[in-house]
Amino acid sequence: MKISVNGAAGRMGRQLLRAVCEHNDADLGGAADAPGAASIGLDASVLSGEGEPGVHITDSAKELVNSCDVVIDFTAPSVSLALLDVLKGSGKSVVIGTTGFTAEQQQQLQAHAKHTPIVFAPNYSVGVTVTLALLAQAAKAFADDYDIEVIEAHHRHKVDAPSGTAVKMGEVLADTLGRDLKECAVYGREGITGERDRKTIGFETIRAGDIIGEHTVLFAGNGERIEITHRATDRMTFARGALKAALWLGNQPAGLYDMRDVLGLEK
């Protein structure tokens, strides 16, 4: 299967290029970066450090789409949506790992899924996907008797907070408990906050150094505390998961999927 990478010169883009090059069932079809970027015109093998030369970085989304069966896109919300405009009617698929979409942008993404096969997930780690399933089980068992806090940490360059993975964890917890995350989420605390409302879900964000990604959900009751934690130590974990999603997506009809679909897990 031919896979193209959008945002090829980014931290994740370079890992995605490596993941494609190391997989026997995938070939690099194309690679793109933002117009004016220093990487334009470079051979993709220069960025990945692997693979055969011959694929040059382009700034054309149309060229990128025409060169593959599936595009993997880890960029920015506006860039991902512009790519979806190009994908419309092409018969091609896309795996989106971009985070930071507004509610309106998510609606646009859902509209595109009516005619384009899309896997959209805030995190492509198999471990995180399994963690989400564990969180649903835990929330169901603990119900409203335990306070819930979501703590996440990432590198200093991450531009959105809380992380998309943390938000997804909150959504899973709220859905399981019959709550509306928009109503029960508390993002950080300062000053005289008053006693904690047990039905809130707290979020704490850390941005420091080169932390790749850490997420902990804390369930605290009277007399005990349970923590479910996922720590990523290598971005290739996410890249290999995204490639797994791309290889799966190539045989799917138009629709909006996530990693639970890719792994065959119950929702």
Decide: residue 38, CB within 10 A, 0-12 exposed, 13-18 middle, 19+ buried: exposed
Q: With beta carbons less than 8 A apart as the criterion, state whether 165 and 220 touch.
A: no
Residue among 92, 154, 168, 244 flagged as catalytic: 154
Q: What per-residue string of b and e applies to 189-228 under the rule 16 or more CB within 10 Å gives b?
A: eeeeeeeeeeeebbbbbeeeeebebbbbbbbeeeeeeeeb
Residue among 2, 23, 56, 158 flagged as catalytic: 158
φ, ψ for residue 72, nearest 5 deg: -105, 125
Q: Is 155 a catalytic residue?
A: no
Q: Is 115 a catalytic residue?
A: no
E strand map for the chain: 2-6, 27-32, 57-58, 70-73, 93-96, 117-120, 147-154, 185-187, 201-207, 213-221, 224-232, 255-257
Side-chain-facing half-sphere of 67: CA atoms under 13 Å? 22
Answer whether the bond into residue 35 is a cis peptide, omega within 30°: no
Q: How far apart are CA 123 and CA 105, in angstroms?
A: 18
- Provide the CA 66 distance to its chain's centre, in angstroms: 24
Q: In what order do the strands lie in the sheet with 27-32?
A: 57-58, 27-32, 2-6, 70-73, 93-96, 117-120, 255-257
The set of catalytic residues is 154, 158
